[in-house]
Amino acid sequence: MAAPVRAPSTALLLATMPDEDGGCAALLPYRGSLLHHLIGQLAGLGVETVLVVTRPQWRAACALAVAEAPIRVHVADSPDLPADLAAVARLAAGRTGRLLLAPADLAVSTEALAGLLADPRVATGALIHEAVPLGAEAAPVRVARGRIVSAASAFHTAARPNAVLAGVVVLSAESAAVLARVADELSALATPPVPASWRGSWSATEHPRAVSADAVALLLVGLVRANVAVAPVSLRGFFLARPASPARARAAEHAAAAVDEDRVLLDAAVKSTDGAFTTFLVSPYSRYLARWAAHRGWTPNAVTTLSLGIGVLAAGSFAVGTRPGLVAGAVLLQAAFTADCVDGQLARYTRTFSSLGAWLDSVFDRTKEYAVYAGLAVGSSRGFGDDVWLLAAAALALQTFRHTVDFSYAGAQQLVLGTISYPPLSSAADTVVPVDGEGESGRAAPSAPAPRRPGLRAAAGRRAIAMSRTLEGRDWMRYGKKILVLPIGERFALISVTAAWSSPRKTFVALLSWGSLAAAYSLTGKTLRSVAQ
């Protein structure tokens, strides 16, 4: 059912991470070995060639582990981090296709990899994980406006992090050229003596496991500071682990086997930025409609069009101007809204994203809403003898104004993103980008890198619990704010309820008063933030 994956032709896997006993972590047992399994997954996704970079003492073992791989695999050795980076630079230079970069000691769900590689909106992107640190090797990043705007490595800190890197980075051919340049630069910088500002960083001297593992994070810092737009692709509920001992590798194997991938894929098809009404009252069942539609072979655009059709019927029912008409219109409007949620979830579930689909979805949403306003106004004149065209037009003007505020502010923020000037790679600290982060109020930020020693794991666990409590507490706030700004789900519910139980006039009065409050709130917040930035 999944759309064809635009596979990178080449994958570069870094099997340089030592396990807890000093052996090669990529060779830990995991459905064979981590390395062998990952190569099998990449082959299944259409990758043609894999280059494995490992330490000289592990080369023979790695070559043996990949001997039966279904695709071409080269194993190269490299003595240290600067040489790893130089190897990346050589491979990335003069590339014509996409390139995947990942640590080889990674146990990851195939669907998570497919999600990163298949989304056509992602030219260059990285798997990230919000909220809770993944473990010893997770480097913090900051995500804002669909971009990674700051990244950390063993030598660099991220400014105001709100997520962590989950290892895998995919690069467009153009970004691969930038990667070659930054890998060369980083290779020179990582050659001792390292820059003065790198020496004080959190793990450079104390945690050799982190340093040798961190080439991907280091390269991500290079890409971000070279102003490459790296899209964050959230891991959502998919499985990912970087086991550091045979016992943990076996535990990861069991944990991965216990995950229902289709279930996670379906859950991940639900947008995380939806409002409260959509999240709690529509998505819990609309995702099953999306799966049903996928199995029937329906396209997202067909469902979008169906949603418009139902919306127009709702407008027609409202226009009848009788109580049954209003009630039928209210029910149909909710049906249209459900179909509207299904189309996006179907697109994400089947990974069929098209420009036209995105445009239709947005334009039809507006068309439905304003057709319903007109239907209500017609019905009010016909059935209730009450001319409410002034209110209807005012509600349309107010809603358009509110959307324009959002569009314009988002445009201004993108403009800021286009003109960031980052510090050079020799500097450990990063600049704070004056752009709002995603879900800023809702997601706990792993503000410091995770502790790296086993003795500190308990502390990490306690912190994770504290963090999730904060998260729950803040979720209420987040959804409270979302309800206040009257997003589409709440708006359509308000229309249905007031129209069915009261009158079109009341519907418009409700839309106008709540909408004005929402406009004032959002306008004040955005203005204050622009002044503060």
Residue with structure tokens 């029937």? 296
Nearer to another protein, 49 or 516 (CB): 516
Shortest distance (Å) from residue 281 CB to another protein: 15
Cα separation, 351 vs 2, whole angstroms: 6
- Which window, 158-166, 198-206, 396-404, 466-474, contacts another protein (CB under 8 A)? 396-404
351 within 8 A of 4, measured Cβ to Cβ: no
Residue with structure tokens 């439905």? 368
Please state, as a whole number, how many other Cβ atoms lie within 10 Å of the Cβ of residue 216.
25
Is 358 a binding residue for another protein by CB under 8 A? The answer is yes
Is 528 a binding residue for another protein by CB under 8 A? The answer is no
| Residues forming beta bridges with residue 99, ordered by sequence position | 10, 171
Nearer to another protein, 37 or 147 (CB): 147
Is 389 a binding residue for another protein by CB under 8 A? The answer is yes
Peptide bond into 451 cis (omega under 30): no
The interface mask with another protein, positions 427-466, x = CB under 8 A, is -----------xx---------------------------
- Which window, 74-82, 315-323, 328-336, 382-390, contacts another protein (CB under 8 A)? 382-390
Nearer to another protein, 167 or 357 (CB): 357
Is 474 a binding residue for another protein by CB under 8 A? The answer is no
Rg (CA), the chain: 26
Is 524 a binding residue for another protein by CB under 8 A? The answer is no
Is 414 a binding residue for another protein by CB under 8 A? The answer is yes
Among 77, 111, 343, 365, binds another protein (CB under 8 A): 365
Shortest distance (Å) from residue 150 CB to another protein: 17
SS3 of residue 138 by DSSP = coil
SS3 of residue 453 by DSSP = coil
# chain residues binding another protein, by CB under 8 A? 65
| Residues forming beta bridges with residue 360, ordered by sequence position | none
Q: What is the dihedral of CA 227, 228, 232, 238, to 10 degrees?
A: -140
Is 173 a binding residue for another protein by CB under 8 A? The answer is no
Is 488 a binding residue for another protein by CB under 8 A? The answer is yes
Is 229 a binding residue for another protein by CB under 8 A? The answer is yes
Residue with structure tokens 């789900």? 489
Shortest distance (Å) from residue 437 CB to another protein: 10
Among 123, 170, 178, 510, binds another protein (CB under 8 A): 123
Among 324, 356, 385, 455, binds another protein (CB under 8 A): 356
Helix crossing, 355-384 with 300-320: angle to 10°?
10
Is 411 a binding residue for another protein by CB under 8 A? The answer is yes
Cα angle for residues 351, 133, 23 (degrees, 5° grid): 95
Is 520 a binding residue for another protein by CB under 8 A? The answer is no
Cα separation, 231 vs 121, whole angstroms: 9
β-bridge pairing 163-171 and 99-103: antiparallel
Is 2 a binding residue for another protein by CB under 8 A? The answer is no
What DSSP letter does each residue of 197-221 carry, written as one string?
Answer: HHHTSSSTTT-HHHHHHTHHHHHHH
- Residues 41-74 as b or e (16 or more Cβ within 10 Å = b): bbbebebebbbbbbbeebbebbeebbeebebebe
Is 315 a binding residue for another protein by CB under 8 A? The answer is no
Is 396 a binding residue for another protein by CB under 8 A? The answer is yes
SS3 of residue 256 by DSSP = helix
Cα separation, 474 vs 138, whole angstroms: 24
Residues 74-103 that bind another protein (CB under 8 A): none
Q: Which residues contact 246 (CB under 8 A, 6 or more apart)?
A: 19, 28, 29
Nearer to another protein, 29 or 487 (CB): 487
Among 394, 471, 500, 512, binds another protein (CB under 8 A): 394
Tokens representing residue 283 in the block: 């998505």
Is 479 a binding residue for another protein by CB under 8 A? The answer is no
Is 331 a binding residue for another protein by CB under 8 A? The answer is no
| Residues forming beta bridges with residue 130, ordered by sequence position | 163
Tokens representing residue 340 in the block: 């509207």
Nearer to another protein, 374 or 500 (CB): 374
Residues 142-171 that bind another protein (CB under 8 A): 145-147
Is 341 a binding residue for another protein by CB under 8 A? The answer is no
Nearer to another protein, 105 or 340 (CB): 340
Among 2, 29, 370, 451, binds another protein (CB under 8 A): 370
Is 174 a binding residue for another protein by CB under 8 A? The answer is no
Cα separation, 18 vs 105, whole angstroms: 9
Is 476 a binding residue for another protein by CB under 8 A? The answer is no
Tokens representing residue 289 in the block: 């409609």
- Which window, 212-220, 262-270, 372-380, 445-453, contacts another protein (CB under 8 A)? 372-380
55 within 8 A of 215, measured Cβ to Cβ: no
List contacts with another protein (CB under 8 A).
119-123, 125, 145-147, 229, 231, 271, 273, 275, 353-359, 362-363, 365-367, 370, 373-374, 377, 387, 389-390, 392-394, 396-397, 400-401, 403-415, 417-418, 438-439, 487-488, 523, 526-527, 530-531, 533
